[in-house]
Structure 1
Amino acid sequence: MRQNPQRRAALLDAAIEVLAREGSRGLTLRAVDAEAAVPTGTSSNYFANRAQLLVQILHRTRERLTPDPTPDPADLAGPLDTKVLLGRLLARMRRERSVHTAMLELRLEATRRPELQAELSGFQGAGLEANIAWHLEAGLPGDRQGVVLIHLAMLGLIVDDLTVPGLLDPHPVEGLIEAMVERLLPERPAD
């Protein structure tokens, strides 16, 4: 297997685009080569098979969706605001639509592939646990269960925004996020 990290990342980014645009059935090593504009057979030098490619796509989506670790200057001016953070999450999703769409395709594919299901479960579970820990350590409102509920509510909002964007037009998203936070993450009582 080839080890050029830049080429591997470019192939995985191309695979994300193919998966988002064509769905799981359209994702082939040849389609990835065409999308990446590399010679036919290049992807097979980096991925032993389609199953390995799917797992690598899963990990590449995390790399692309992880927020910039440099704090936003606005965050340094005062306490963190959950509504602002969730708004940024939605904005990041809208900028990276193909990555989120590819993740939806991976979720569907995992219902048919037990090995991908196991990888996805571990991957998503670790991400959720990390988000819960970060939220609680940051001293944001709510408890563990509230963070899980916000995760589920935002996932639903993101899926609707990706798949039927007009559905939420009568319901301003900012208001929905504000209501989610107020209802699901009440302020913790002072000690």
Structure 2
Amino acid sequence: MNPDRRDRLRDAAIEVLARDGGRGLTHRAVDRAAEVPSGTTKNYFPTRDAVLRAVAERCLEQYLALTEQLAAGPGPGDREALVTLFRSLLENVAGPGRSRLLAVLELQAEATRRPWLSGILDPMASGDFAGFELAQRAAGLPVTPQRAAVVTLALHAAVPHLLTDGPGTLAAAGLDDPDRFVRDLLDTVYPPDATA
């Protein structure tokens, strides 16, 4: 099978899942989104579970590519650089990462009924816990596993709000200003005048 066409179908399936949700993820919808002849998606991914697996694997590939790109950089050398990094990740949610993250949320819901999906998705969340802890250490913060986890959980909790909520909710959560949100989060977990 043609790997370029396979990736085109997987990318189209991400867009369909993000736009139409789990119920809208059909072989025909993916064919239309990928602009391929009817039946192409079914040839590559014969069942709905195969389509879901393909989407999950593609989301994981995109996540790993993003984390590899971030890891190739110098890393946040101080608190200000960490703010910049975390703010850029939050801004990515409503920007280029929007479809992938919406698809991941849909996949997480599907994983409650299809536990095998959790095995594909798990490296994304666990990777964030490890990577964000390393970033906090690189920034010189007095990291403990618990503090690092609180920061990661707060950033994860922000994602669905950034994807779905109106201005009132975003303002109530402090997410109407991602820079301030990150600064407040770090100041709460790592007060600037406190010692380790």
- TM-score, normalised relative to structure 2: 0.80
1:103-138 per-residue CA deviation (whole Å, 9 max, x = no partner) reads: 111111111222223433x33454235425633663
Please identify, of 51-60 and 129-138, the stretch whose mean Cα deviation from structure 2 is larger: 129-138
1: CA distance, partners of 2:41 / 2:17: 15
Question: Structure 1 63/165 Cα, relative in aligned 2: closer, same or farther at 3 Å?
Answer: farther
Once the two structures are TM-superposed, the CA of residue 186 in structure 1 deviates from its matched residue by 5.3
Aligned twin of 1:71: 73
Cα deviation digits, residues 150-180 of structure 1 (max 9, x gap): 1111112121111104121363332121111
The residue aligned with 2:40 is 42
Matches within 5 A, 1:99-178: 99-120=100-121, 122-132=122-132, 134-135=134-135, 138=138, 140-141=140-141, 142-166=143-167, 167-169=169-171, 171=174, 172-178=177-183
| Residues 132 and 144, structure 1, Cα contact 8 Å, conserved in 2 | no
8 Å Cα contact 2:45-2:51 kept in structure 1: yes
Distance 2:6 2:127 in 1: 23
- The one-letter amino acid of 2:145's match is R
Q: Following the alignment from structure 1 to structure 2, what is the Cα–Cα distance between the partners of residues 5 and 45?
A: 13
Aligned to 1:33: 31
* Equivalent residue for 1:184, pick from 186, 189, 193: 189
CA distance in 2, matches of 1:140, 1:44: 51
- 1:100 deviates by 1.0
2:56 paired with 1:58? yes
Give the match's secondary structure for 1:13.
helix
Tell me how far apart the structure 1 counterparts of residues 185 and 136 of structure 2 sit (CA, whole Å).
17
* Per-residue CA distance 1:57-110 (angstroms, 9 max, x = gap): 1222233341534538xx69x646221111010122121211111111111111
TM-score, with length taken from structure 1:
0.81
Mapped to 1, the partners of 2:41 and 2:83 lie a distance apart of 41
In structure 2, list runs of 5 or more residues that go unmatched. Answer: none
The offset of 1:49, in angstroms, is 1.9
Total equivalences in the alignment: 184
1:139, 1:83 → 2: CA distance?
10
Q: CA RMSD in A?
A: 2.7
Cα distance in 2 for residues equivalent to 1:182 and 1:137: 15
